[in-house]
A and B are shown apart, each in its own frame.
Chain A
């Protein structure tokens, strides 16, 4: 009788340990899956870096790049400006460009309409920025806006607004 009891308790214990091992293994799996299953979302940082890089190219030491505006006259090569800044928006990794950048130059006399603008990249992401003005959606492109003041060679004053958008949702968000 005593022997039977002992073997019964042993069976119960082995089932218990088996269940515990399963629970612990499941827990460890859940932890690893939850942590490593979520990618790092660095798009907002990337958009900030892009804004700063463009700002560095547009204005240096408070003066606007003479390749853009010289003595108040807009350069004819302004469309090639982003290329001259060594910013490449296309990549072999993606079928379509994942970035968008827009630089607007405003004169103090007319802040409603830009004096001139330079754009580059995929303008489809611009609508994502507008949608996210009220609420943020993880899967849409992340946008960043920056503005600063600068002068040209002839000391004409400009307010420069930079808008950048980075999509790359597949690599930064769990879809």
Chain B
């Protein structure tokens, strides 16, 4: 009878220890997750998870469009100009 009681006690303690570890684990995971989310707040122009942020490449296309439109007006030395613009990027 005494032996049974001891086994029961060990089993119960183990259940509580595991439950505590799970709770602490979930908490640590959540803290790490919120730190990661906070890091995403630095919107340096990267598209994050395809939802938030903005793709700055799309913005630079505005300047490229201006160049293409200018070529329509005067495309002399086009290769030289393209080389200069490429090197400055």
Q: Which residues of A contact B (CB under 8 A)?
A: 16, 20, 23-24, 27, 30-32, 34-35, 37-42, 44-45, 48-49, 51-52, 55-56, 59, 61-63, 108, 111, 145-151, 155, 157, 159, 161
Contacts and interface: CB of A to CB of B under 8 A. Distances in A.
17 contacts: A23-B27, A24-B23, A31-B30, A35-B37, A39-B41, A40-B43, A44-B43, A45-B43, A45-B54, A51-B63, A59-B66, A59-B70, A61-B69, A62-B68, A63-B70, A148-B66, A151-B70
Contact of A44 (B35, B45, B69, B88): B45
Given A27-B27, A55-B63, 8 more contacts: A20-B23, A31-B30, A38-B39, A51-B63, A63-B70, A108-B81, A147-B63, A149-B66
Contacts of A59: 66, 70
B77 A148 contact: no
B83 to A, nearest CB: 11
Q: Main secondary structure on chain B at its contact with chain A?
A: helix
Interface of B: 16, 20, 23-24, 27-28, 30-31, 34-35, 37-39, 41-45, 54, 56, 59-60, 62-64, 66-74, 76-77, 80-81, 84-85, 88-89
Given A62-B71, A62-B72, A148-B67, A40 B34 contact: no
Contacts of A40: 41, 43
Q: Main secondary structure on chain A at its contact with chain B?
A: mixed
A150 B70 contact: yes
A24 B25 CA distance: 11
A140 to B, nearest CB: 14
A52 B38 contact: no
Contacts of B73: 62-63, 151, 155
Contacts of B74: 151, 155, 157
A173 B71 CA distance: 41
